[in-house]
Amino acid sequence: EVQLVESGGGLVQPGGSLRLSCAASGFTFSTFSMNWVRQAPGMGLELVAYISSSGATIYHADSVKGRFTISRDNAKNSLYLQMKSLRAEDTAVYYCVRDYGINSRWGQGTLVTVSS
């Protein structure tokens, strides 16, 4: 069974940092692209970052460029999102999402709250 389990969310002050992790199981992690998608309270879905299966292609949304960094460790079946210089508007549930189309699978999400 495909499982994506996010961790690392929590309450952080503006300007602070967090590192989100996503532990993948039930599939060959190294053959799928991965994404971080977030959803602010009461709002829609936003693609935050994308990384190809090998890590050769990386995308960050303009809203997080220069502050967030997506990475992966295929040996550990894990996806990461390093977040720094956090702002109130980064408050959201962050989902780890496998690939797209028929291969799309979502984790349960982890809540990041940026507040003083």
Partner 1 sequence: IQMAQSPSSLSASVGDRVTITCQASQDINKYLNWYQQKPGKVPKLLIYDASNLATGVPSRFSGGGYGTEFTLSISSLQPEDIATYYCQHYDHLPYDFGPGTKLDIK
Least distance (Å) between residue 61 CB and partner 1: 7
Query: Which of 8-16, 21-29, 42-50, 77-85 is the region at the interface with partner 1 (rule: CB under 8 A)?
Result: 42-50
Token code pair at residue 39: 């959803």
- Looking at the Cβ atoms of 23 and 61, the one nearer to partner 1 is 61
- Looking at the Cβ atoms of 43 and 75, the one nearer to partner 1 is 43
Q: Return the C-alpha torsion angle 32, 112, 37, 106, nearest 10.
A: 60
Query: Which of 8-16, 54-62, 66-74, 83-91 is the region at the interface with partner 1 (rule: CB under 8 A)?
Result: 54-62
Handedness of CA 38, 8, 54, 27 (dihedral sign): negative
Of residues 63, 45, 56, the one with CA closest to residue 100: 45
Token code pair at residue 55: 């890590």
Q: Which residues bind partner 1 (CB under 8 A)?
A: 35, 37, 44-47, 50, 57, 59, 61, 95, 100-102, 104, 106-109
